């Protein structure tokens, strides 16, 4: 007996595509659904516009200098770029080297290249040193806080996500609030400690007041019978506060 295969509507199929693309979002009504569709179209239009703009820039470049287009095509097809530049622009290089007026610009370009290489080397050395220290920090933190590999992977993925967003100038609400909590943590702890200390002092003062009310200040001297009674001066609030310190 053949089973009836349920045919999904176009709406259901599109909802499935959206859920696959945006697993953390819900499209419970038409407003949410069409709002996302509109946002996607805006993104597509922007990407298409950027693509067309880049394509036009390359087209204008190749039209103004056909040798540049030929050089890039040869490079794309596997030719060594240095060989290709000499083959396509050899006369230009020779003219620059032989022209005294170009010597200063040539020297500046060579210096800029050397500085960039040195900076890249320094950056690579710093990165290797820092990443080694970071791995040791992570290992020690896992031992101290009993953090398993899965959790530490999630933590590092979260931090890397923030770093990538920051490079693009993007800071989410969650990241900002997380930073705010981290900055205010020590202050919040200090306030909580102070409030706890004040509550403790107040509790001690109240206890002293209670005991003071129970005792009217009369004490017996020289035995229990026939003793001389003297009345002590009642303690002030400041006396009780000092005792609570």
pLDDT in tens, 59-70: 888 888 888 888
How many domains, in total, are found in the chain? Answer: 2
Within a domain: residue 33? no
Within a domain: residue 15? no
Of 36-40, 175-179, 215-219, the least confident: 215-219
Dump pLDDT digits (tens) for 149-202.
989 888 888 888 888 888 888 888 888 888 888 787 665 556 656 566 656 666
Within a domain: residue 67? no
Q: Is the domain of 163 the same as that of 126?
A: yes
Within a domain: residue 89? no
Q: Is the domain of 164 the same as that of 107?
A: yes
Q: Does residue 233 surpass a pLDDT of 70?
A: no
Question: Which tokens sit at 228?
Answer: 């001389």
pLDDT bin (cut points 50, 70, 90) of residue 30 is: confident
Within a domain: residue 210? yes
**Is 208 within 8 Å of 237 (Cβ atoms)?**
no
Within a domain: residue 131? yes
Tell me which residue range forms the domain holding 222. Answer: 192-244
Q: What is the distance between the alpha carbons of residues 7 and 13, in angstroms, rounded to a whole number? A: 10
66-76 and 81-98 helices, crossing angle to 10°? 140
pLDDT at position 107 is: 83
**Is 214 within 8 Å of 227 (Cβ atoms)?**
no
Q: Is the domain of 166 the same as that of 196?
A: no
Partners of 218 in the β-ladder: 231
Q: Does residue 12 surpass a pLDDT of 90?
A: no
Within a domain: residue 235? yes
pTM beyond 0.85, yes or no: no
Dump pLDDT digits (tens) for 96-121.
778 888 888 888 888 898 899 899 99
Q: Is the domain of 165 the same as that of 196?
A: no
Q: Is the domain of 109 the same as that of 165?
A: yes
Mean pLDDT, all residues of the chain: 78
pLDDT at position 1 is: 46
Backbone torsions φ then ψ of 228, nearest 5 degrees: -95, 125
pLDDT at position 144 is: 92
Within a domain: residue 113? yes
Q: Is the domain of 108 the same as that of 164?
A: yes
């Amino acid at each position: 007996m053949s089973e009836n295969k349920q045919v999904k509507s176009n709406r259901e199929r599109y909802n499935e595509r959206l859920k696959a693309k945006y697993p953390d979002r819900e499209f419970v009504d038409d407003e949410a659904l069409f709002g996302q569709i509109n946002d996607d179209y805006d993104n597509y239009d922007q990407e298409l516009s950027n693509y067309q703009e880049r394509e036009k820039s390359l087209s204008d470049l190749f039209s103004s200098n056909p040798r540049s287009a030929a050089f890039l095509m040869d490079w794309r097809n596997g030719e060594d770029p240095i060989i290709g530049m000499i083959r396509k622009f050899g006369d230009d290089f020779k003219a620059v080297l032989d022209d005294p007026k170009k010597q200063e610009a040539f020297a500046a370009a060579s210096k800029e290249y050397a500085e960039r290489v040195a900076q890249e080397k320094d950056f690579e050395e710093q990165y290797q040193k820092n990443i080694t220290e970071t791995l040791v920090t992570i290992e020690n933190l896992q031992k101290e806080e009993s953090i398993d590999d899965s959790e530490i992977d999630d933590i590092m993925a979260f931090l890397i996500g923030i770093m990538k967003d920051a490079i693009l100038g993007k800071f989410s609400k969650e990241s900002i609030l997380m930073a705010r909590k981290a900055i205010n943590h020590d202050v919040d702890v200090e306030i909580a400690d102070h409030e706890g200390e004040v509550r403790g002092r107040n509790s001690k003062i109240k206890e002293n007041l209670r005991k003071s009310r129970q005792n009217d200040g009369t004490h017996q001297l020289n035995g229990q019978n026939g003793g001389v009674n003297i009345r002590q001066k009642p303690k002030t609030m400041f006396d009780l506060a000092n005792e609570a310190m």
